[in-house]
C-alpha cells in the first residue's frame, strides 16, 4: 500500500508539473521527488505511469536550421520521427544519478567481475594526458583508468552494455528485486518529466549549463567536431562531473542531459518509431546495436536533446559512456 500511495502522489505531481511547464522552474521551486534508497545506498526516484509524445519536437529541417554548427543534414535525425504517443502503463524506479565509480567498484570487489575492456585485453577509450587527445581502443584504458583522475562520485565509464547488465543482475540478486536498464521509452519519458521541449528545462540551449555537463559553445573553434576533440588535461570541466553537480529535472533526476551517454535496454531500429506500439514499447525484437541516450561531457547541444537517439554495439566501451539503473516496483 505504501508503494501505491506513493505512486498516486507522484502521478499527481507529474500531471501538475507538466501543466505548469516545469522545464522553466528553478531548482528551489521544484517539488521534491518521491523515491527511496536501495541496499547499496543508491537513490531511486519513483517514476509514475503516464502518457507522452515521444520523438522530435520539430521537423528535422527546422532542427538543422536551429543548430547551423552541427554539420548535419535532416536525414541524420530521421530516426527521431514520427513523433508518436506512448503510454507507460507501470510505474518504475529510476536511479536519481548515473552509476558511480564507487558503486561499480563495490560490484567488482564483491564478485570479481572483469569488464569486457579488461577481460578481452583490448581496453577501451581514454584521454591521453600527454597529448590531450581522446583515443582508443587501448589496453591501458578501462573503467579504472579512463585517462583522467578518477573521483569516486563520477559516473563510471568504459563499461559495455553487457557490463551494465551484469551490474543489474548483481543488484537484483543482492536485493531480491528486479534491476534492469530502462527501456528507451521509459528513459525519454523520465527525461522529459512532463515537458515537450527540446530539453527538459527549455528549448534554448543557452539554459543547458545549469542542467548539463557538455561542451561549452564558446570553445567551439577550439574543439571542432567531437570526433576530433582535443581535451585540456588540466581543465576539470572537460571530463564527467561528479553525479548531481547540475540541477535536476522536475522528477528529481540529475544528469539526464550530458555528463555521460547512458545505455538503455532496446535494440536500435532506425524506423522503429513508425511501428512502435502505444503501450510500453520495448524496441525491436533483435538487432546488432543497442541504444544510448542523453549525450555526454563532450557532446554538442543538438545531441543533448531529449529526443536524440544514438547507438553502439553491445560490447562497445567508451570514455563518455555509462548507465543508470531502473527497478521494477
Q: How many domains does the chain have?
A: 1
Determine the structural domain holding residue 267 and report its residue range.
2-328
**Count of C-beta atoms within a 10 Å radius of residue 261:** 27
Please list the pLDDT of the chain residue by residue as tens digits (329 residues).
Answer: 333 334 333 434 333 333 333 332 333 333 344 678 999 999 999 999 999 999 999 999 999 999 988 889 999 999 999 999 999 999 999 999 999 999 999 999 999 999 999 999 999 999 887 777 889 999 999 999 999 989 999 999 999 999 999 999 999 999 999 999 999 999 999 999 999 999 998 999 888 888 999 876 554 444 444 433 445 555 666 789 999 999 999 999 999 999 999 999 999 999 999 999 999 999 999 999 999 999 999 898 999 999 999 999 999 999 999 999 999 99
C-alpha cell at 302: 543538438
Give the H or E element holding residue 266.
Answer: strand 261-267
User: 181 and 164 in contact (C-beta within 8 Å)?
Assistant: yes
Backbone angles phi, psi at 92, to 5 degrees: -155, 165
Task: State the pTM of this model.
Answer: 0.86
Give the DSSP per-residue string, 205-264.
Answer: GGGGGGT-B---GGGHHHH-SGGG-B--TT-GGGSPPPTT-S---TTS---SSBSSEEEE
Distance CA 236, CA 84 (A): 39
Here the CATH number for the domain that contains residue 78 is 3.90.1580.10
**Which residue matches cell numbers 536551429?**
66
Amino acid at each position: 500500500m505504501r508503494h501505491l500511495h506513493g505512486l498516486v502522489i507522484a502521478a499527481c505531481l507529474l500531471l501538475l508539473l507538466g501543466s505548469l511547464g516545469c522545464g522553466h522552474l528553478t531548482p528551489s521551486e521544484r517539488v521534491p521527488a518521491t523515491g527511496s534508497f536501495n541496499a547499496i545506498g543508491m537513490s531511486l526516484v519513483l517514476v509514475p505511469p503516464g502518457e507522452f509524445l515521444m520523438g522530435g519536437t520539430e521537423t528535422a529541417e527546422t532542427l538543422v536550421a536551429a543548430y547551423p554548427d552541427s554539420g548535419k543534414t535532416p536525414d541524420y535525425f530521421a530516426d527521431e520521427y514520427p513523433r508518436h504517443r506512448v503510454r507507460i502503463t507501470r510505474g518504475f524506479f529510476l536511479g536519481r544519478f548515473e552509476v558511480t565509480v564507487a558503486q561499480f567498484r563495490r560490484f567488482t570487489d564483491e564478485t570479481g567481475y572483469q569488464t569486457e575492456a579488461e577481460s578481452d585485453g583490448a581496453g577501451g577509450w581514454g584521454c591521453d594526458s600527454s597529448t590531450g587527445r581522446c583515443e582508443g581502443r587501448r589496453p591501458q584504458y578501462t573503467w579504472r583508468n579512463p585517462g583522467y583522475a578518477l573521483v569516486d562520485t563520477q559516473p563510471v565509464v568504459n563499461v559495455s552494455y553487457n557490463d551494465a547488465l551484469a551490474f543489474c543482475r548483481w543488484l537484483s540478486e543482492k536485493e531480491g528485486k528486479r534491476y534492469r536498464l530502462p527501456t528507451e521509452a521509459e528513459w525519454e519519458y523520465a527525461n522529459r518529466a512532463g515537458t515537450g521541449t527540446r530539453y527538459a528545462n527549455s528549448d534554448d540551449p543557452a539554459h543547458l549549463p545549469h542542467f548539463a555537463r557538455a561542451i561549452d559553445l564558446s570553445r567551439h573553434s577550439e574543439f571542432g567536431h567531437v570526433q576530433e576533440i582535443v581535451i585540456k588535461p588540466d581543465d576539470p570541466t572537460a571530463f564527467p562531473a561528479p553525479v548531481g553537480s547540475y540541477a535536476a529535472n522536475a522528477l528529481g533526476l540529475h544528469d539526464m542531459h550530458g555528463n555521460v551517454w547512458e545505455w538503455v535496454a532496446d535494440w536500435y531500429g532506425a524506423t522503429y518509431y513508425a511501428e512502435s506500439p502505444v503501450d510500453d514499447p520495448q524496441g525491436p525484437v533483435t538487432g546488432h546495436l543497442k541504444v544510448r541516450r542523453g549525450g555526454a561531457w563532450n557532446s554538442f547541444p543538438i545531441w543533448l536533446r531529449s529526443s536524440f537517439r544514438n547507438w553502439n554495439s553491445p560490447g562497445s566501451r567508451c570514455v563518455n559512456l555509462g548507465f543508470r539503473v531502473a527497478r521494477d516496483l
